[in-house]
């Protein structure tokens, strides 16, 4: 049985196969209309969602399966104090596959260790969002025809932006990828992404302070929202909310074949006037999310007899995780870490942040 906690759980050839399957679903949807007959998907969303939850549910329904679940923690027994582990262990008795979103970083790791069925991370706090990345990869492939030789601008909240973290992990595995990181000082990409992902991959990266200075060289501009829900205070959020706003004026310096992406929802970071520009692909991206999730559900259900990627690894006991959003600081869990292969530091097994 295999799970998806991040895109690094998939080899590049597995990603290629999943993208090919999604393309076939787009072309020949009828062929898959009964592919999941009799199967159930549980969508357990402890945090709000429009695209991820509904595209997962639409995906399973279009495959002939059925869905159950909840869209807010308050309507589940979480409200009575139930742990993530107990919820997952229970629901895995009722469903054949589970997609879970949770506000705390590392919650998907906890769920993976308890589930009896394939577990999909549909977003864990500011940590990872691999099915958004698969959505992004399908969009990039449909727009560019390749995953190689691209300059990708990542703009906005790169600190808490889980879609950005997962996308960097995925794209840095391809050839001749350059990243331009466009963010305020306080919302820069976390250290572990630089040390454990970008540096070992050899992918080039530069930093930029404005969209205007970065845009001429970009093949892809990936905009992200400054996420109110990740800040400790409203004041901190307001300080950064309007940091980057893409409008038609700023697009004047861009390539004709730039692809503008955004995981959505947007607040104000892309002016509505950009929606009608032929380079704006974020609503197509949202549609691609349904197709790639159909491919993912089919693949994970087909992999039921594959070797387990839920085996115990070698972890060591350590001190409390310093990340205030880590699941280990909210639930009764052992403080465990692994030693980073790149710099020997201790990393929390749940959220990957450094243990100080
Ligand atoms: N992109 C994304 O995760 O959107 P939702 O929060 O609406 O699911």
Question: If we measure between CA atoms, which residue out of 195, 103, 213, 199 comes closest to residue 155?
Answer: 213
52 lines ligand 1 (CB under 6 A): yes
Output the tens digit of pLDDT for each of the chain's 356 residues.
Answer: 999 999 999 999 999 999 999 999 999 999 999 999 999 999 999 999 999 999 999 999 999 999 999 999 999 999 999 999 999 999 999 999 999 999 999 999 999 999 999 999 999 999 999 999 999 999 999 999 999 999 999 999 999 888 999 999 999 999 999 999 999 888 999 988 999 899 999 999 999 999 999 999 999 999 999 877 767 788 876 777 777 999 999 999 999 999 999 999 999 999 999 999 999 999 999 999 999 999 999 999 999 888 776 555 678 999 999 999 999 999 999 999 988 877 888 999 999 988 87
Q: Hey, whose CA ends up nearest to atom 7 of ligand 1?
A: 50
Question: If we measure between CA atoms, which residue out of 170, 10, 168, 5 comes closest to residue 100?
Answer: 5
Residue 81: other Cβ atoms inside 10 A: 7
Strand partners of residue 208? 182
Q: Hey, whose CA ends up nearest to atom 1 of ligand 1?
A: 263
* Distinct helix (H) and strand (E) counts, the chain: 12, 12
Concatenating the DSSP letter of every residue in 192-213 gives: HHIIIIIHHHT-EEEEES-HHH
The CA distance from 315 to 353, in Å, is 15
- Which ligand 1 atom minimizes the distance to the CA of 129? 3
Widest pairwise Cα distance in the chain:
54
**pTM given for the model:** 0.94
132 lines ligand 1 (CB under 6 A): yes
Could you tell me which residues come within 8 angstroms of residue 25 by beta carbon, excluding any fewer than 6 positions away?
A: 32, 291, 294, 295
Residue 52 CA to ligand 1 centre (angstroms): 5
Q: Phi and psi of 101, rounded to 5°? A: -115, 140
Q: Phi and psi of 304, rounded to 5°? A: -55, -30
87 lines ligand 1 (CB under 6 A): no
């Amino acid at each position: 049985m295999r799970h998806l906690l991040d895109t690094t759980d998939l080899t590049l050839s597995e990603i290629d196969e999943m993208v090919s399957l999604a393309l076939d679903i787009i072309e020949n949807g009828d062929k898959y209309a009964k592919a999941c007959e009799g199967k159930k998907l549980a969508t357990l969303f402890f945090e709000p969602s429009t695209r991820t939850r509904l595209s997962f549910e639409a995906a399973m329904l279009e495959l002939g399966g059925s869905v159950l679940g909840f869209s807010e923690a308050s309507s589940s027994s979480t409200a009575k104090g139930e742990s993530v582990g107990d919820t997952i262990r229970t629901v895995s008795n009722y469903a054949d596959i589970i997609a879970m979103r949770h506000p705390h970083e590392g919650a998907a790791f906890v769920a993976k260790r308890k589930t009896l069925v394939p577990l999909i991370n549909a977003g864990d706090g500011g940590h990872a969002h691999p099915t958004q990345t698969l959505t992004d990869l399908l969009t990039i492939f449909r727009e560019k025809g390749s995953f190689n030789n691209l300059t990708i601008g990542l703009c906005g909240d790169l600190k808490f932006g889980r879609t950005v973290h997962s996308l960097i992990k995925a794209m840095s595995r391809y050839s001749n990828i350059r990243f331009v990181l466009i963010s305020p000082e306080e919302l820069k990409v976390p250290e572990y992404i630089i040390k454990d992902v970008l540096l070992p991959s050899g992918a080039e990266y530069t930093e930029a302070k404005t969209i205007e200075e970065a845009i001429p060289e970009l093949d892809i501009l990936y905009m992200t929202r400054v996420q109110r829900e990740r800040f400790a205070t409203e004041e901190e959020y307001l300080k950064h909310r309007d940091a980057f706003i893409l409008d038609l004026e700023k697009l004047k310096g861009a390539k004709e074949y730039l692809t503008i992406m955004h995981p959505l929802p947007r607040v104000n970071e892309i002016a509505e006037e950009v929606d009608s520009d032929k380079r704006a692909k974020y609503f197509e991206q949202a549609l691609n999310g349904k197709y790639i999730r159909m491919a993912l559900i089919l693949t994970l259900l087909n992999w039921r007899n594959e070797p387990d990627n839920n085996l115990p690894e070698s972890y060591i006991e350590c001190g409390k995780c310093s990340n205030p959003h880590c699941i280990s600081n909210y639930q009764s869990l052992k403080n465990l870490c692994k030693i980073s292969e790149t710099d020997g530091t201790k990393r929390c097994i749940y959220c990957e942040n450094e243990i100080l």
